[in-house]
Amino acid sequence: MLNIAFPSTGHRRIACVGRSILLVLMAVGALTQTAAGAEFNLAAHDTLSAVELNRGDTIAFTLRNGDVRRIELISTSARVLFTTLTEPKKSQAGAGTLYEMSADVRIDGHPFVLRRYVASQEAFYEPYVINGVRFWLDAVGDIATFLNFNHGDCQPRRDARLALQDASLRICPEELLPWYNNPSRFINIADSYNGDDCWLGPYFGADAHGGLDINQPLGSVNFTPLGLDDHFYFNSLAKGDNNNRWRGVRRWANGDVWMIQTHHLLSLIAPEHTPMAAGDPIGYAAGIRIGDHAHSHYNFKVLPAGSKEDIDLDPWILFWQIFEDAKQRAGEVHASMTPLRPARTGMAVNFEPTGSRPGPGRPQLRYSWSFGDGGGSLDAAPSHTYAQPGVYAVTLTVHDGSNAATTTQHLTVNGSPVAGPTLSLAAPDEPNWRPRPLDAQDVYGIVPPGRPRLLEFVARPGKPAPRARDIQLVNTGGGILPPGAVRIDQGGGAGWLKWELHGTGNQQIVRVRVDATGLPGALYAARMTIEVPGALNASQSFEVNLLVPTYERKGSRAVIVDNAGVGFSATPWFWIGHRFHGVPAKGHADFYLLNGGRARQDGYARFTPDLRAGRHDVTFAETTPFSADAGFTVRIRHAHGEETRWIEPAKSRVIGTFDFADGIDGFVEITTAGSRGQVCADAVIFKPLVSPPGRQKERVP
């Protein structure tokens, strides 16, 4: 690897930082200085807007439809979540660091936290979409407290650097083609040099990386993803530089200029200083000064119209659009919705799955909506009314019978709380029903397991009627809920789904039961609807799946539930894991997740095994690298109820010995509330025991 030094020619850096920022702000919008901070106007145009802000600054962002969104930067922060450095800010060969950064903002008057992780798979993320604005949190200045900036241009010159765009628009008006051959349309963080050289990734644990490295075979061909007006080597071995670094320039009709860069080229294919069309080959890459791994280095710079100061951005933004365009050309299953606008309490909001599509050869989609307040729908284009002001995450999951896709947007809701009853549903102990944290994002290319508001049952021969599940009727408005009723649209295997309604008013519960007695092996599905006439959102539907397995579990070997396997679920966008090449502790199956030492109240990681009935010793894997001071609460559901235990892995990895019923009714769950140290979600081992003679309730083969 090498230091990336940009030449003095081309787009010159202005020495006076204050003046340079002012020029950027003046270029992208009309600037007004107030006592609280700078306030300036941006209008959405064909290419995304890049801007750097200080705390107290405000953006008035005008969408294409004329609506104005106000974004105020309140504060920023950053912290290390995991590191193998022996001394802060002192780079160390083979060391690795994971960190998070955040920006507290007010969006149309509502508080919101933009959050980002670096040097984990979450570095390749889906952007936030809030009130119709797509947000990329690129960097915050606080990372300078633990990172050096000597490895390429990437340091923000103000407190935060953002890129934003009208969510109805692309990042640019031109379709983007692959920058290099990547048919998977996915970047594995393990392939970012040593697993850490993503944008701002801490190279050798301490040096912010000014670009994105992607490991490629020696001599791979790189292509231009968009049409270029000019291209050239700005560093080259022929000129006496230490590398071949290429830059392409695109001048957009709106006056913005984009610069893309590829480094470590062996040679150019296209003659310099000639226009290029999207898809034209640039040159043979991944061959000059490549260090430990053959790789290419990518950069992205934006020069706003009228400005003399370019802004460095994460190349992942380009790759995100490249991959989205490739998926559209391939016709892959896709989830999308019409951009959301601010709403008011008591007034219905209409949701449209605009742009959603099934995959090739699949005739139709199934829809599952979660509205962020306990409400949901299985309709394609539902409406919903919010009873309380606030910010809500709206998630749409689509399934074409073969593959699924999901998307999330946020909207703000203004107004006074609704006086009348408003129905929502809750099942706090069901992973598919747990509220999505507002700051959560999806990792690009990985569909979260399960579907919102889905009840899943597995019926094994030893227990054809698994544990019942409770659905709570929640009143998010005022007053008292009227009596509820239940309707079932049942699938094959009539009679397998039962329900009971208990309680009155705001204490109503629907207990859902299934019984697979006599059913052949198959997946059975039904739709349940709970209705409360006289309440807002009076009709709420959800899915119930019953799996009667056709496969048998073999032998009496231990069952291991791993964080990357079936049976694992966790708080989204909280647990993170590294793929650092130089860190020896890899955990079970070479990968583990970390809480970053954060005792978050809603942090959980659940391990649900598919067990034969009987007694089991339950332990954490010996290879899991808990910190020496780690301590946390574990919740165990077994055949006789539930209990919690405090675990200190440095003293013992044993969770306990418990009886479990046949199937998936039991689990072990780590909770980070009240935890200390570095808690790992890695693997839980369930080892079956044979009961002593005369005490066997069920033979364990």
Least confident of 31-45, 375-389, 606-620, 682-696: 682-696
For residue 669, list its beta bridge partners: 606, 635
CATH number of the CATH domain containing 241: 2.70.70.10
Q: How far is CA 86 from CA 97, 99, 206, 624, in A?
A: 11, 16, 11, 21
Same domain, yes or no: 563 and 541? no
pLDDT at residue 448 in the model: 83
- Which segments of 5-149 does DSSP mark as H helices, in order? 17-28
Which of 8, 49, 308, 350 has its CA nearest to residue 171?
Answer: 49
**pLDDT tens-digit map of 641-652:** 999 999 999 999
CA distance 249 to 273: 10
pLDDT at residue 207 in the model: 97
Same domain, yes or no: 156 and 195? no
10 Å CB burial of residue 699 (0-12, 13-18, 19+) is exposed
CATH number of the CATH domain containing 468: 2.60.40.10
Our measurement of the distance from residue 104's CA atom to the centroid of its chain's CA atoms, rounded to an integer in Å, reads 18
Angle at 262 between CA 51 and CA 289, to 5 degrees: 125
Task: Identify the helix (H) or strand (E) that includes residue 316.
Answer: helix 316-330
Overall domain count for the chain: 4
pLDDT at residue 44 in the model: 97
| Res. 18: pLDDT tops 50 | no
Same domain, yes or no: 314 and 369? no
**pLDDT tens-digit map of 184-229:** 999 999 999 999 999 999 999 999 999 999 999 999 999 999 999 9
Cβ atoms of residues 568 and 604 within 8 Å: no
| Res. 21: pLDDT tops 70 | no
Label residue 451 by pLDDT band (50, 70, 90).
Answer: confident
CATH number of the CATH domain containing 145: 2.60.98
pLDDT at residue 697 in the model: 41
**pLDDT tens-digit map of 80-131:** 999 999 999 999 999 999 999 999 999 999 999 999 999 999 999 999 999 9
Same domain, yes or no: 215 and 244? yes
CA distance 652 to 649: 5
Mean pLDDT computed over 422-440: 94
| Res. 8: pLDDT tops 90 | no
Same domain, yes or no: 588 and 529? no
CA distance 656 to 686: 10
CA distance 551 to 209: 48
pLDDT at residue 491 in the model: 65
Query: For 463, what's the count of Cα atoms within 13 Å in the CB-facing half-sphere?
Result: 21
**pLDDT tens-digit map of 528-585:** 999 999 999 999 999 999 999 988 776 678 999 999 989 999 998 999 999 999 888 8
Which domain-ending residue is among 518, 548, 578?
A: 548
pLDDT at residue 500 in the model: 96
Label residue 12 by pLDDT band (50, 70, 90).
Answer: very low
Label residue 7 by pLDDT band (50, 70, 90).
Answer: very low
CA distance 625 to 632: 14
CA distance 176 to 324: 9
Portion of the chain with pLDDT greater than 70, in percent? 92
pLDDT at residue 698 in the model: 36
Which domain-ending residue is among 103, 133, 166?
A: 166
**318 DSSP 8-state letter:** H
**pLDDT tens-digit map of 268-285:** 999 999 999 999 999 999
Same domain, yes or no: 378 and 490? yes
Which domain range does residue 639 map to?
559-689
Judge whether 326 lies within some domain. no
pLDDT at residue 494 in the model: 67
Same domain, yes or no: 441 and 507? yes
Cβ atoms of residues 161 and 24 within 8 Å: no
Label residue 416 by pLDDT band (50, 70, 90).
Answer: very high
| Res. 141: pLDDT tops 90 | yes
pLDDT at residue 555 in the model: 62
Judge whether 6 lies within some domain. no
Judge whether 133 lies within some domain. yes
Judge whether 695 lies within some domain. no
Average pLDDT, the chain: 92
Portion of the chain with pLDDT greater than 90, in percent? 87
| Res. 597: pLDDT tops 60 | yes
**pLDDT tens-digit map of 652-672:** 999 999 999 999 999 999 999
CA distance 572 to 564: 14
10 Å CB burial of residue 495 (0-12, 13-18, 19+) is exposed
Cβ atoms of residues 285 and 264 within 8 Å: yes
Three-state SS at 119 = coil
Mean pLDDT computed over 340-356: 98
CB neighbours (10 Å) of residue 42?
20
Same domain, yes or no: 197 and 161? no
For residue 166, give both structure tokens.
Answer: 């009208």
Same domain, yes or no: 534 and 564? no
Mean pLDDT computed over 599-625: 96
Same domain, yes or no: 539 and 426? yes
| Residue indicated by tokens 């332990």 | 619
pLDDT at residue 421 in the model: 98
Our measurement of the distance from residue 497's CA atom to the centroid of its chain's CA atoms, rounded to an integer in Å, reads 34
| Res. 700: pLDDT tops 60 | no
Which domain-ending residue is among 166, 200, 224?
A: 166
**pTM tops 0.85:** yes
Judge whether 439 lies within some domain. yes
CA distance 326 to 332: 9
Q: Which amino acid is at 217?
A: P
**387 DSSP 8-state letter:** S
Judge whether 7 lies within some domain. no
Label residue 19 by pLDDT band (50, 70, 90).
Answer: very low
pLDDT at residue 11 in the model: 33
Cβ atoms of residues 406 and 397 within 8 Å: yes
Cβ atoms of residues 484 and 532 within 8 Å: yes
pLDDT at residue 493 in the model: 55
For residue 230, give both structure tokens.
Answer: 């000019």
pLDDT at residue 29 in the model: 54
Label residue 23 by pLDDT band (50, 70, 90).
Answer: very low
**pLDDT tens-digit map of 560-569:** 999 998 999 9
- Higher pLDDT among residues 165 and 701, named by residue: 165
Same domain, yes or no: 151 and 233? no
Judge whether 694 lies within some domain. no
CA distance 431 to 607: 11
Label residue 699 by pLDDT band (50, 70, 90).
Answer: very low
For residue 130, give both structure tokens.
Answer: 């809030």
CA distance 264 to 245: 6
Same domain, yes or no: 395 and 499? yes
Cβ atoms of residues 310 and 210 within 8 Å: no
Judge whether 334 lies within some domain. no
Strands 295-303 vs 212-215: parallel, antiparallel or unpaired: antiparallel
Mean pLDDT computed over 456-483: 96
Label residue 321 by pLDDT band (50, 70, 90).
Answer: very high
